[in-house]
A and B are shown apart, each in its own frame.
Chain A
């Protein structure tokens, strides 16, 4: 197959990346991940619950040898915390591929781009492969690329909002200017949103809430899997020109 999805020199089969948060249980999460066909899952770094010795571990449900763990910095509001979190993540098991996410506002959860840029630079120099969650600003995306990001991950809309892609034009501009993997991260609400992202020329999408909080997460996981495949095929197939007037599909010749 010629259509390769490569991030930081590693090839992946699925263009759908899924988050592992907000599920009712780890069992439900693991099943949804499996049904989604994702090769990469995002994970958060948190304190071990010391008092509960029977605590279930994510790694017991999703095998990091089979699925690539992408540690994130969710909950970090400055470069210092984000760097600390990812250095710890690397220590857990040698993870170098990471998702940087530095937030700037607790209500809208938009990324704090100054801190994000600063962190990208430092992490890249430390040998991390940094996939960067960012706003949909082409100029900032360019700066991230120049600072060593290995993938650009603009939001579709605020995290968990389910609003879908709000600024298609910006996404298209970012697509046109970069050869880095472009992955829509955050704000998708339904499968068709993923198809639209792929039809805009994105290399992949990252989805968490839309699957985890759907009434039927397993079915939605499959819907997103199919939507990403459909969108990619549609993008590669080359859509027809848009026309204001109708163009008949049946030949005029031989009309009775």
Chain B
């Protein structure tokens, strides 16, 4: 059996191990984020939410998921 390779990424500042070739959309599903209510950045570039199922994550990618919270 072929061993599944894991890669290291950074999600909202925290290290996370994911399967190689994992797509952003899968990652968002795992962490249960409502896509309509967030914005996503990959390596400081804002992602088009329509293309999330096309983007594969690579080693050392930095993903930021942000939303609105209370503020003045």
Contacts and interface: CB of A to CB of B under 8 A. Distances in A.
Q: How large is the interface on B (under 10, 10 to 19, 20 to 34, 35 or more residues)?
A: 20 to 34
27 contacts: A19-B70, A20-B69, A22-B72, A23-B70, A43-B71, A45-B39, A45-B68, A45-B69, A46-B66, A47-B64, A47-B65, A48-B31, A48-B33, A48-B66, A50-B14, A50-B31, A50-B65, A53-B32, A57-B34, A58-B67, A59-B37, A84-B44, A87-B46, A92-B67, A93-B36, A159-B72, A208-B72
A93 B64 CA distance: 16
Q: Kindly list the 9 A-B residue pairs having the minimum CB-CB distance in the complex, ordered from nearest.
A: A44-B71, A19-B72, A208-B72, A91-B39, A20-B70, A43-B68, A88-B39, A21-B72, A21-B71
Nearest to A26: B70
Interface of A: 19-23, 26, 29, 42-48, 50, 53, 57-59, 69, 71-72, 74, 84, 87-89, 91-93, 159-160, 186, 206, 208-209
A136 to B, nearest CB: 18
Nearest to B47: A91
Interface in B9-30: 11-14
A15 to B, nearest CB: 17
B55 interface: no
A160 B34 CA distance: 32
B21 to A, nearest CB: 21
A93 B34 CA distance: 12
A92 B38 CA distance: 5
Residue from B13, B44, B66 having most chain A Cβ neighbours under 10 A: B66
Contact of A72 (B34, B49, B64, B71): B71
Nearest to B65: A48
A42 B71 contact: yes
Interface hub of B31, B40, B69, B72 (most chain A Cβ within 10 A): B72
B31 A44 contact: no
